[in-house]
Amino acid sequence: MKRNAPYYLLVLVLLALDQTAKAVIVRSLGHYGSIQVIPGFFSLSRVHNKGAIFGMFNRMDGPLITVLLTVASLVALVMVVVYFFKTPSSEKWMKISLAFILGGALGNLTDRIVRGYVVDFLEFSVGRYRWPTFNVADSCISLGAVLLIVVFLVRRPSHVSHPD
């Protein structure tokens, strides 16, 4: 339990960072409000995402889609938690990547349960090309996933058995 304490702390810090950023945006910007930070490149734009990642299913409104997405999020979260606890504490980078995924997943799940939608606000564009609006939790999940892939790619096989 003590060996996992730094990872629990990381999850809590990421969750707090996500929820604090969203609270500031909700307090500072009206729905669909926007502030250009770097003109033509970066804006803070408040969007309510009732769908999944990058707004998938966002146009499908209703309580059923919210319940289905919440249940899917919970199932994914449980899977990551189980994998987190099965991973030895000696695998530091694996634990860190899973902590990032957990912190982000908890941030978006908190929104979905409390608000019925996820607050997105980071918006990047170049010319007429625009990346879908996202948030700190999405960034944590993405960073954790990339780190997880790197960990799997550089991991040395422990005991490879060769069939005779």
- Tens-digit pLDDT profile for residues 64-111: 766 777 788 889 889 999 999 999 988 999 999 999 999 999 999 999
**What residues make up the domain containing 130?**
2-153
Residue 163 lies in a domain: no
Q: What integer best gives the mean pLDDT of the chain?
A: 88
Asked if pLDDT for residue 56 goes beyond 60, the answer is: no
Residue 164 lies in a domain: no
Out of 18, 61, 120, 164, the active site residue is 120
Q: How confident is the model at residue 157 (pLDDT cuts 50, 70, 90)?
A: low
What number of helices (H) and strands (E) belong to the chain? Answer: 4, 4
| Number of folded domains that form the chain | 1
The proportion of the chain whose per-residue pLDDT surpasses 70, expressed as a percent, equals 85
The proportion of the chain whose per-residue pLDDT surpasses 90, expressed as a percent, equals 68
Is 18 a known active-site residue? no
Out of 18, 61, 111, 138, the active site residue is 138
- Beta carbons of 39 and 123 less than 8 angstroms apart: no
Is 164 a known active-site residue? no
Residue 158 lies in a domain: no
Angle in degrees, 0-180, between the axes of helices 136-154 and 5-28, rounded to the nearest 10: 150
